[in-house]
Amino acid sequence: MKVVRSTCNYCSIACNFDFHVNDNGFIERVKPAEDYPVNQGFCCVKGLNLDKQNTIHENPVLPLIRKENGEFEHISWKEAFNVFADKVKKIQDKYGKESFAFLSTGQLLSEEMALAGHIGRNFLGGNGDGNTRLCMATAVVAYKQSFGFDAPPYTLDDLEHSDVMIFIGCNPIVAHPILWSRVAKNKNKNKKVIVIDPRKSETAVRADMWIDIKPKSDIRLLYTLANVLIEKGWIDEEFIKNSTEDFEGFKSHVKKYDINDVEEYTGISKGRVLDLAEIIHKGEKVSLWWTMGVNQGFQAVRTAQAIINIALMTGNIGKPGTGANSITGQCNAMGSRLFSNTTGLYGGGEYSDEKRRKAVAEILEIDEELIPKKPTKPYNEIVDGINNGEIKALWVLCTNPLVSWINDLEFKKAAEKLEFLAVQDIYSDTETARYAHLILPSTSGLKKDGVIINTERRLSKIQPVLEKKENELSDYDIMLGIGKALGMGSLLDKWKSPKEAFEVLKKCTKGMPCDITGVNYDELNGSEGVQWPYRKNENIGNNQRRLFEDGKFYTPNRKAKFIYEEIMNPPYDKSEEYPYILNTGRATVGQWHTQTRTREIPDVEAIIVKEGYINLNTDLAEELDIKENDVVKVSSPNGVSNRFLVKLSRTVKKDQLYAPMHYIQANSILPSVFDTYSKEPNYKYVPVKIEKIKGDSYEEN
Ligand SMILES: Nc1nc2c(c(=O)[nH]1)N[C@H]1C(S)=C(S)[C@@H](COP(=O)(O)OP(=O)(O)OC[C@H]3O[C@@H](n4cnc5c(=O)[nH]c(N)nc54)[C@H](O)[C@@H]3O)O[C@H]1N2
Ligand SMILES: Nc1nc2c(c(=O)[nH]1)N[C@H]1C(S)=C(S)[C@@H](COP(=O)(O)OP(=O)(O)OC[C@H]3O[C@@H](n4cnc5c(=O)[nH]c(N)nc54)[C@H](O)[C@@H]3O)O[C@H]1N2
Ligand code: SF4
Ligand SMILES: [Mo]
């Protein structure tokens, strides 16, 4: 029996586990690590069942190619790499470099996504975005503009120090259960947990205060709150003066958000907003946390910055228990933000910054001309580019856009149109893989080697728990094979193994806010993990570190910026024809996104709803004569209708519906609406109508 310590590669908490593997290579026990600072002996059902990957639904070891008759046939890896290289080269020769694109993910390991970026952007000169766009892009842009670098400031320990915790558009009990367990550990007698969510989520139910806000009116509430705090003088003038910029502009901007109007726009009464202001004022350590209820909106970046502004004006940043804290989603979302070579250079920095480009080229030992001069086209433009014929070849890695992309019939159209679609996944039967010309099966995280970065900037090690079978390749191996077949030659010299790739990435961070030159790849294994920054020879002392303790930010003048703008109207809003607002998101702890992985967990499969469903308010259902398990047709202004099972619930208000994102029906009814600055999809707000499908009541089987 051997025991291997590794990291869960589902959500961004990155719990550590000890895997007990017997002599036959079978995992006998999955034990959450007690000595790991993040999960401290706890975990959720997904991590506990990591051993189930590729047990019920196996992945073929060898690649699959689609034949003329539409059927798939196995080929050798060598052939697959050559097919990939030939197709992409021919397409690029005919239509130009930008006829190739790739879609990566926040679920690959840092070294893998970096290598994909090296191949796809540096060498092939194509565009390449990630599913991080669907998730974290808003927080990235908000932080960059406000702090001068994409830098979530907190450590998870802050949850134990805080006396006021405000969760905005996040449902950690379902989405980040271990984060919530840290809230439960907070022993402060006067602690207050406040949840701002239009839905009475699992977390809202357990909060001290549920602010049942009208969807997408957070920005109005936050601006009004800022105005109240200013008028009452409940602000930290010293901090504002020393550490921030443009407070005066912000002050005059929020003046127009009169407390007397707040209820009309947000549904929250004047009295409750005043209470909230007082709680923030009286709180000694106030922390504000946000996730997708904020990030996935049509005015998302400015909403995130409205949260940041509250933290700045009250001096709640850089101290234990404080912060304007965006929680990441996927296991390595933070790694993809730093190392995917899609929207910024390795280790951060803009493509337009000649000095940084040169420095990165030197570290990679490649010609500076190979480093892109501009960020990638965003995801939506890649999909549009395919549909308007500019992009002909697409490499999809570790994501399932046919289900997860907004208005996903557009993605289906694109998948059908492509001359070459390669899908690299740990399952060959995903909805996206069905459209592939080439399927590249990769091993799961249980057999991989690399580093991921969690929500509090902590690097931790994924160690191979099981050995690979003959011909079985990891994502890294597959990418190297592709790179070689493309003729990259010496351009791969620095990328021979994940460890060597990590050394390259480390060097790229030197002198940047995310400097990790002090991290030792091998020593990371079995350690407590380490948060960035960790500079060479630095004595970090406490392994629970937050940023900005010195009141200095990463902008040129070291001051954080107040950023704000006029409030937008929703691009599509409620009308007589479409009287309800549809919201989408996670459903249960056991379901992960498009459910390719969690369908292997028997305990989850046994209890989840098998069909796409909506939560419908019980009183509304009565008015409409709709019953539990009836089937309804939901239609939106993008002209698409879908059938959903009805699950009655009082967690949704009468004018709202909630559809879990885990089923394919949800996204096709959402029109293509994006935040102006981040291009993150507006997944949580679309007006819809519902019609009962008569005589077609769903029967459970
Ligand atoms: N079990 C499970 N856990 C997961 C995942 C999973 O698929 N399954 N996915 C992971 C990933 S990648 C991510 S990004 C995170 C997501 O984690 P969360 O963001 O916590 O999850 P969501 O359910 O998408 O959305 C959170 C809440 O936003 C609310 N919301 C909707 N509109 C608004 C609004 O206008 N204002 C406010 N204030 N709130 C609003 C919704 O009602 C919902 O309760 O979860 C991670 N963890
Ligand atoms: N309506 C609506 N849509 C949403 C959201 C929402 O709230 N509402 N949330 C959005 C968010 S926040 C996110 S993050 C996205 C997630 O969307 P996706 O990334 O599309 O969802 P996943 O199901 O996680 O897809 C990951 C794929 O990678 C495969 N995979 C897993 N591990 C590996 C590996 O090690 N290597 C390889 N090669 N493949 C692997 C899985 O089998 C799966 O097919 O969905 C977005 N879509
Ligand atoms: S909380 Fe997240 S990291 Fe921890 S076991 Fe669950 S899915 Fe894995
Ligand atoms: Mo996400």
Distance CA 171, CA 243 (A): 31
280 and 344 in a single domain? The answer is no
85 and 219 in a single domain? The answer is no
Q: Which ligand is nearest to the CA of 30?
A: 3
Index of the ligand 2 atom closest to the CA of residue 427: 42
Distance CA 163, CA 504 (A): 41
Write down the pLDDT at residue 694: 75
Interhelix angle for 270-282 vs 218-231, to 10°?
A: 60
681 and 608 in a single domain? The answer is yes
- Tell me, yes or no, whether 501 lies in a domain: no
- Tell me, yes or no, whether 476 lies in a domain: yes
In this prediction, residues 463-491 reach a mean pLDDT of: 98
Query: How far, in Å, from the CA of 262 to the mean position of ligand 4?
Result: 31
Q: What CATH code is carried by the domain that includes residue 380? A: 3.40.50.740
263 and 370 in a single domain? The answer is no
Ligand 1 binding pocket includes 87 (Cβ within 6 Å): no
335 and 437 in a single domain? The answer is yes
Tokens representing 43? 């975990």
Sequential DSSP letters for 217-243: -HHHHHHHHHHHHHHTT-S-HHHHHHH
174 and 217 in a single domain? The answer is yes
Tokens representing 234? 């409940």
Last residue of a domain, one of 279, 300, 326: 326
Q: Which of 136, 99, 140 is nearest to 120 (CA)?
A: 99
Q: Using DSSP bridges, classify how beta strands 64-66 and 438-441 pair: parallel, antiparallel or unpaired.
A: antiparallel
Write down the pLDDT at residue 163: 97
DSSP state of 570: P
| In the predicted structure, residue 697 carries a pLDDT above the cut 90 | no
Query: How far, in Å, from the CA of 9 to the mean position of ligand 2?
Result: 12
Sequential DSSP letters for 482-504: HHHHHT-GGGGGGGSSHHHHHHH
Index of the ligand 3 atom closest to the CA of residue 48: 5
DSSP state of 575: -
Contact 635, 669 (CB under 8 A): yes
Q: Is 168 helix (H, G, I), strand (E, B) or coil?
A: strand
Lookup result for tokens 């910026």:
561
Distance CA 429, CA 383 (A): 22
Contact 122, 364 (CB under 8 A): yes
Strands (E), 221-379: 244-245, 286-290, 323-326
For residue range 183-195, list pLDDT tens digits in order: 999 999 999 999 9
- Tell me, yes or no, whether 542 lies in a domain: no
Distance CA 462, CA 111 (A): 11
Which residue has its alpha carbon closest to ligand 1 atom 24? 585
- Tell me, yes or no, whether 465 lies in a domain: yes
pLDDT bin (cut points 50, 70, 90) of residue 541 is confident
165 and 270 in a single domain? The answer is yes
Distance CA 529, CA 457 (A): 10
For residue range 10-25, list pLDDT tens digits in order: 999 999 999 999 999 9
Q: What CATH code is carried by the domain that includes residue 683? A: 2.40.40.20
Contact 456, 531 (CB under 8 A): yes
For residue range 193-235, list pLDDT tens digits in order: 999 999 999 999 999 999 999 999 999 999 999 999 999 999 9
| In the predicted structure, residue 678 carries a pLDDT above the cut 50 | yes
184 and 272 in a single domain? The answer is yes
Q: Which residues surround ligand 4, an ion (CB under 5 A)?
A: 135, 329
Ligand 3 binding pocket includes 174 (Cβ within 6 Å): no
For residues 105, 476, 424, 367, the Cα torsion angle rounded to the nearest 10 degrees is 70
150 and 110 in a single domain? The answer is no
Q: How many helices (H) and strands (E) does the chain have?
A: 26, 26
Q: What CATH code is carried by the domain that includes residue 23? A: 3.30.200.210
| In the predicted structure, residue 570 carries a pLDDT above the cut 70 | yes
Ligand 2 binding pocket includes 291 (Cβ within 6 Å): no
Ligand 2 binding pocket includes 423 (Cβ within 6 Å): no
Ligand 3 binding pocket includes 178 (Cβ within 6 Å): yes
Lookup result for tokens 């005066």:
248
- Tell me, yes or no, whether 556 lies in a domain: no
- Tell me, yes or no, whether 528 lies in a domain: no
Query: In the chain, what percentage of residues exceed pLDDT 70?
Result: 99
| In the predicted structure, residue 698 carries a pLDDT above the cut 80 | no
The total domain count for the chain is 4
Q: Which ligand is nearest to the CA of 583?
A: 1
Distance CA 274, CA 561 (A): 25
For residue range 638-667, list pLDDT tens digits in order: 999 999 999 999 999 999 999 999 999 999
Lookup result for tokens 């350590």:
285
Distance CA 659, CA 632 (A): 12
152 and 274 in a single domain? The answer is yes
Ligand 3 binding pocket includes 8 (Cβ within 6 Å): yes
Ligand 3 binding pocket includes 601 (Cβ within 6 Å): no
For residue range 29-71, list pLDDT tens digits in order: 999 999 999 999 999 999 999 999 999 998 999 999 999 999 9
Distance CA 659, CA 635 (A): 13
Ligand 1 binding pocket includes 687 (Cβ within 6 Å): no
Q: Which of 682, 589, 698 is nearest to 638 (CA)?
A: 682
| In the predicted structure, residue 357 carries a pLDDT above the cut 60 | yes
Q: Which ligand is nearest to the CA of 658?
A: 1
Query: How far, in Å, from the CA of 684 to the mean position of ligand 1?
Result: 9
Q: For residue 584, list its beta bridge partners.
A: 659
Using CA of residue 338, residue 343, residue 345, residue 348, what is the dihedral sign?
Answer: negative
The 10 Å Cβ neighbour count of residue 607 is 8
Which residue has its alpha carbon closest to ligand 2 atom 19? 399
Whole-number average pLDDT of the chain: 97
Query: How far, in Å, from the CA of 176 to the mean position of ligand 3?
Result: 7
Q: Is 701 exposed, middle or buried (0-12, 13-18, 19+ CB in 10 A)?
A: exposed
- Tell me, yes or no, whether 524 lies in a domain: no
Write down the pLDDT at residue 507: 98
Distance CA 549, CA 584 (A): 37
Last residue of a domain, one of 470, 489, 508: 489
* Backbone Cα Rg of the chain: 25
- Tell me, yes or no, whether 310 lies in a domain: yes
Contact 579, 655 (CB under 8 A): yes
Ligand 2 binding pocket includes 450 (Cβ within 6 Å): no
Lookup result for tokens 């800022």:
226
Q: Helices (DSSP H) in 283-332: which residue ranges?
A: 292-295, 300-313
Domain range for residue 666? 580-692
Write down the pLDDT at residue 523: 96
Tokens representing 221? 């509430």
What's the whole-model pTM score?
A: 0.98
Write down the pLDDT at residue 695: 59
Please list the helix, strand and coil fractions of the chain in percent, rounded to the nearest 5, in that order: 35, 20, 45
For residue range 304-337, list pLDDT tens digits in order: 999 999 999 999 999 999 999 999 999 999 999 9
Last residue of a domain, one of 461, 489, 517: 489
For residue range 140-159, list pLDDT tens digits in order: 999 999 999 999 999 999 99
Q: Using DSSP bridges, classify how beta strands 580-585 and 686-692 pair: parallel, antiparallel or unpaired.
A: antiparallel
Sequential DSSP letters for 501-528: HHHHHHHHTTTSTT--TT--HHHHTTS-
Q: What amino acid occupies position 330?
A: Q
377 and 483 in a single domain? The answer is yes
375 and 389 in a single domain? The answer is yes
